[in-house]
Chains A and B, each alone.
Chain A
Amino acid sequence: MATQPLTESEARALAERVLDLSQADEARVNLRSSRETNTRFANNQITTSGDVSDATLTVRSVFGRRTGTATTNRFDDASLRRAVETSERLARLSPEDPEYMGQLGPQAYPAAAEPWFESTAALSDEQRAAAARLITETARSRGLVATGFIPTRAASEAVATSAGLFAYTRRTSVALTTTVRTPDGRGSGWAGTNVFNWQDLDVRALAGRAADKAESSRGARPVEPGRWTVILEPTAVGSFVGFLMGALSARSADEGRSAFARPGGTRLGERLLDERVTIYSDPADPALSAEPFNSEGLPNRRMVWFERGALRSLQYDRYWAERQGVGPTGFADAYAMSGGAASVEEMIASTERGLLVTRFWYMRSVDQRSILYTGLTRDGTFLVERGRVVGPVQNLRWNESPLNVLANIEMLGVPQPVLRSEAGETGAAALMPALKVRGFRFTSVSDAV
């Protein structure tokens, strides 16, 4: 097997081999390949690391409107033939799919620079270990305990169809998260980010930030749950925008089972959020570097989902778009929210009484009708009084909806890249501002540090 990820010419050759084997009316090949490395640390030392190479090929075979898929990670002739035959057999045995839309022919994709950086792809075990050590030594020198995770990913994706489509993209990404705790377990601070280029990662700054938060969060006191003015750091804002983005299915709205449904129609065009909120995807924006196509090979394009607070578009796949007489929207994996000019310090200075939130944890949907979620604050929650941070508070559980949070905005910060994965994994980009929001609903206090 070649070194992962597959290059464009390797992917094209492999896809052609599979399409040549196909006996079906139509076929599609999806190739995903990656080399992923990681280093973990806990209790101020490295605990594990990893280096994993893999590639999978999925073939979808179609007879009329009957489809089946098979996946393999073995690319010898016999394994490829077995995968093709299995998908064809499954397709023949499946009932007709009335919603089948046919395979796409060649498409035009947005011109955008590939987010590929050798500094990330070639990052060595020693470099990751040195970064981990920089954080653990920072913590140790201050009498603190560091835990963290540094994953890298160099990956490519390709789609090819029997109708002549071929698309290929590749990217690198690296994330770094660290949770620094006080040895008595009474304080905990977090910092983390996700970037394409290792050289954009300021390890020392992240270590310092998490350590500062750990020290200043020691000895938290409880505050009463209820409605609070909150200052949400960009990572916390990203969570709420993510809930909103997950609820944009046009079909669910048209079928009456979505927060964006109303009796007899959808809420398209209604102003649902603060008028300073615009949320968009744009594969041509290098700061986002969204994937240029989806698994069908359909181009992702610039989409404005919310514009000055109004719902501008829902997400249409090819079938639903045709049925509703609109164009398919694609759904770029990266997105951004507009911001303002306020710094977190200015938000604090303008606040009579409120809470400053670093990030959220264990967020789960409670009610799809209102996009209600629950979750908790974690690793740095502070009380703000009369324009300054006066001390740490115990973590709180909330039950809230982005439809409230993004409608009740008082101030917006400058958008910046945030980590979207709760698990600290690398992933698609998101640009999010810090926000000051009124009336955020906390429902109970947690003892957890």
Chain B
Amino acid sequence: MDRRDFLLTSAALGAGLTVGCTPDTGRREGRGLPTADPAIRDLMMHALDAARAAGAHYADVRVSVNRSQSVSTREERVQQVSDSETMGLGVRALADGAWGFAATADLTRDAVAEAARQAARQARANRAGLLAPVELAPAPAVPDGRWRAAARIDPFTIPIEEKVALLLDANRAALAVTHVRFVTSAMSFLRLDKSFASTEGTFTHQVLFRSNPRLTATAVASDGSDFQSRESTIVQPKGLGWEHVLDADLVGNAPGWAEDAARKLSARPVDPGVYDLVLLPSHLWLTIHESIAHPTELDRIMGYEANYAGTSFIWPLEEYLGRFRYGPEIMNIQAERSSPGSLSAAGWDDEGVAPSEYHIVRDGVLWDLQTTRELVRYMRPWYEQSGQPIASHGQSYAASWSEVQFHRMPNINLLPHPDRDVSLDELVGGVERGIMIEGDGSFSIDQQRYNAQFGGQVFHEIRDGRVVGMLKDVAYQMRTPDFWNSMDLIGGPSTYFMGGAFNDGKGQPSQLNAVSHSCVPARFRNVNVINTGRS
């Protein structure tokens, strides 16, 4: 089969797709995308009408086509090549202050109208015992919104042989390193094509891309007494296309990752104790995710997620907003859904709100929280006091048509040092006895986001301002407010790096969110380190 055949088939997989050519890349890709199709839009309007006729005061409807592909390998062998495309419609109805949600893969007029009626029926059943009816904060209508991710090359247009060859080349490069006996590598891609319509007159159509190339090398000691792995954590999942795989250079980087795995076999087990830590962005993004991004979710704070994800140490609001010192004055935490290539980037959230870019922590002090149209009412006293409008920041998201939208975090970033371009060398230079941690590893945090434990991929021992060797079996334990207030210096703009999570779980039923966290390296004083090894 020639390349052209593959492209045609690949692009034609979606119902109603035609093949076109994007001018900026010259590559073929699916266009005239299905959820922007006028027939789909009519179907969405039909569902909204049915919801209204069944008693809904407000309703919204989402249709999405989720296209995914993954290729996974180990050593010389391809483990799996798979391609998936699913499509359906979900409708959410609000009646007398109570929600209902129904979803169907059956895109006939009868089936979507029945789903809409079903959502309205649920809402009526859910009114019993209502104490505080849902009220949605106003949001401007968007009559015809269009948005497309910054991806340059649609990964679904790249032949599978090219993907397989790249991964197997990377595996070979890793296996050439002494002691490295196992390697797994994979790449997965998602194209999410989704439309949203509401009874308030909003209609949006958006196309998101996600790409996640990765590799893990495992070294085994000659006598079988130990094994150590190293993941490719400098390569982070992104809201980009195939260009991200090319930039990741798995083949060129594999030997270095493999050597790290082999070096870990003979690295010195850490002595437990108190150390200064220099946390690199490939590690720190996850600490930010767990100890800043999650505790500043307003639904969690107000008890909506107490049965699973938990609540937050940030409560009651009036004691924290504008008062709580999260960290030093150089600490600024930004929320946004606009960074090109970030996983949370979108033109509108899943209730039609254009996301804002704002500070959650300003000069070290907690200043704002993440909000949706339903939740923002809890912010009214603080917003009135601080002169801000009572409007959602645009944090509503659903993983798919089959899941109801709810509060999910946007990109939450630790901004660079506000005054100067501090280098990594300067951060390390100020440490007498410490550890520099690269890459995210094991992670766990309590349900109010106080007590956490984090591992990593590679642990560099610092003595008298210099990296002197490698350690292993390192994890640090921390208490969120103490930890962030022990941060005394952060990197400048030239050290800013985007990390992220492909699969952040929350909600019941549990849904996955993809989110980026950009950050700089940072130095923390006197952190408790434990040894996780066998001894």
Write the chain B residue with the least CB distance to A149.
B508
Take A126-B125, A147-B303 as given contacts and tell me if A395 and B446 are in contact as well, using a CB distance cutoff of 8 Å: yes
Interchain nearest-CB distance for A214 vs B (Å): 11
Are A376 and B160 touching (Cβ within 8 A)?
no
Interface pair A53/B104, CB less than 8 Å apart = yes
Are B105 and A69 closer than 8 Å at their CB atoms? no
With A55-B105, A424-B307, A443-B530 as contacts: A374 and B451 at CB distance below 8 Å: no
Q: Which residues of B contact A372 (CB under 8 A)?
A: 532
Task: Check A72/B86 contact, CB under 8 A, given A53-B103, A425-B509, A443-B477.
Answer: yes
B122 CB-CB contact with A under 8 Å: yes
Q: Given contact pairs A40-B508, A71-B85, A425-B510, enumerate 8 new A-B contacts (beta carbons under 8 Å).
A: A43-B302, A49-B125, A71-B82, A71-B84, A98-B76, A129-B128, A147-B304, A395-B451
Task: Report A-chain residues with C-beta under 8 Å of the C-beta of B356.
Answer: none
Contacts A93-B6, A395-B446 hold; do A445 and B451 have CB atoms under 8 A apart? yes
Residue B282 is within 8 A (CB to CB) of chain A in the complex: no
Binds A, one of B217-225, B327-335, B364-372, B389-397: B217-225
Partner-binding segment picked from A21-29, A283-291, A361-369, A429-437: A361-369
The answer to whether A97 and B130 touch (CB under 8 A), given A56-B86, A397-B477, A424-B308, is no
Which one of A50, A58, A87, A256 has the greatest number of beta carbons of chain B within 10 Å? Answer: A50
What are 12 A-B residue pairs whose CB atoms fall within 8 Å in the complex? A1-B106, A40-B307, A50-B101, A50-B122, A73-B86, A89-B9, A94-B78, A145-B303, A364-B444, A369-B534, A424-B508, A447-B450
Assembly CA distance A129 to B118 (angstroms): 15
Are A70 and B82 touching (Cβ within 8 A)? yes
A444 touches B451 (CB 8 A): yes
CB distance from B292 to the nearest CB of A (A): 16
Per the bound structure, the CA–CA distance linking A440 and B4 in Å amounts to 62
Question: Which candidate, B147-155, B230-238, B309-317, is the interface stretch facing chain A?
Answer: B309-317
- Which residues of chain A are near B80, meaning CB under 8 Å? 69
Q: Which of the residues B15, B99, B220, B477 comes within 8 Å of A257, measured between beta carbons?
A: B220
Interface positions of B from 245 to 295, Cβ below 8 Å from A: none
Provide the bound-state CA to CA distance between A262 and B447, in Å. 37
Asked if B105 and A73 sit within 8 Å, CB to CB, the answer is yes
A43-B447 contact, Cβ under 8 Å, with A1-B106, A36-B509, A185-B315: no
Distance in angstroms from B346 CB to nearest chain A CB is 21
The distance in angstroms between the C-alpha atoms of A146 and B475, with both chains bound, is: 35
Residues of B within 8 A of A53 (CB): 103-106
Hey, which chain A residues are within 8 Å of B102, CB to CB? 50-52
Pick the contact of A95 from B78, B85, B448 — CB < 8 Å?
B78
CA distance A171 to B224 in the complex (A): 44
Q: How far is the CA of A55 from the CA of B100 in the complex (A)?
A: 22
**B307 in contact with A85 (CB, 8 Å):** no
- Our pick among B81, B223, B303, B532 for the contact of A367 (Cβ within 8 Å) is B532
Assess whether A16 is interfacial by the CB under 8 Å rule. no
The answer on a CB contact under 8 Å between A397 and B451 is: yes
**Interface SS of chain B:** mixed
Closest A residue to B71 using CB positions: A94
Residue contact A43 to B81, C-beta cutoff 8 Å: no
Q: Which of B417-446 contact A (CB under 8 A)?
A: 442-446
List of A residues within 8 angstroms of B182 by Cβ: 255, 257
Q: Please tell me if the beta carbons of A136 and B129 are within 8 angstroms of each other in the complex.
A: yes
The reply on B181 being an interface residue by CB < 8 A is yes
- Tell me, yes or no, whether A9 is within 8 Å of chain B by CB: no
Is A351 an interface residue when CB atoms closer than 8 A count as contact?
Answer: no
Q: Is the CB of B510 within 8 A of A95?
A: no
If A86-B13, A256-B227, A423-B509 touch, whether A43 touches B313 (CB-CB below 8 Å) is no
**B226 in the interface (beta carbon within 8 A):** yes
What are the residues of chain B within 8 A of A85 when measuring CB–CB? 9
Please give, as numbers and ranges, the residues of chain A lying within 8 Å of B226 by CB-CB distance.
369
Q: Which of B78, B223, B315, B404 has the most CB of A within 10 A?
A: B78
> Are B402 and A52 in contact, CB atoms less than 8 angstroms apart?
yes
Is the beta-carbon distance between A39 and B451 smaller than 8 angstroms? no
CB-CB < 8 A to B101: which residues of A?
Answer: 48-51
Q: Which residues of A contact B99 (CB under 8 A)?
A: 47-49
B78: chain A residues within 8 A (beta carbon):
94-95, 97
A51 engages B444 (CB within 8 Å) = no
Q: Within 8 Å of chain B (Cβ to Cβ): is A74?
A: yes
Q: Measured between C-beta atoms, what is the minimum distance from A64 to chain B in Å?
A: 14
Question: Is A370 positioned at the interface, with any CB of B under 8 Å from its CB?
Answer: yes
Find residues 60-100 in chain A having any chain B CB closer than 8 Å to their own CB: 67-74, 78-79, 82, 85-87, 89-95, 97-99
Query: Quick one: closest A residue to B84, CB to CB?
Result: A71
Chain A, Cβ-Cβ closest to B100: A49
Chain B 161-192 near chain A by CB (<8 Å), digits 1 or 0: 10010001000000000000110000000000
Inter-chain contact A89/B6, CB cutoff 8 Å: yes
Chain A residues near B225: list those with CB within 8 A. 263
B132 in contact (CB, < 8 A):
yes
Known contacts A73-B87, A257-B220, A448 near B105 by CB under 8 Å? no
- Min CB distance A269 to B, Å, is 18
User: Is residue A267 within 8 Å, beta carbon to beta carbon, of the partner chain?
Assistant: no
One of A173-181, A197-205, A238-246, A270-278 at the interface: A173-181
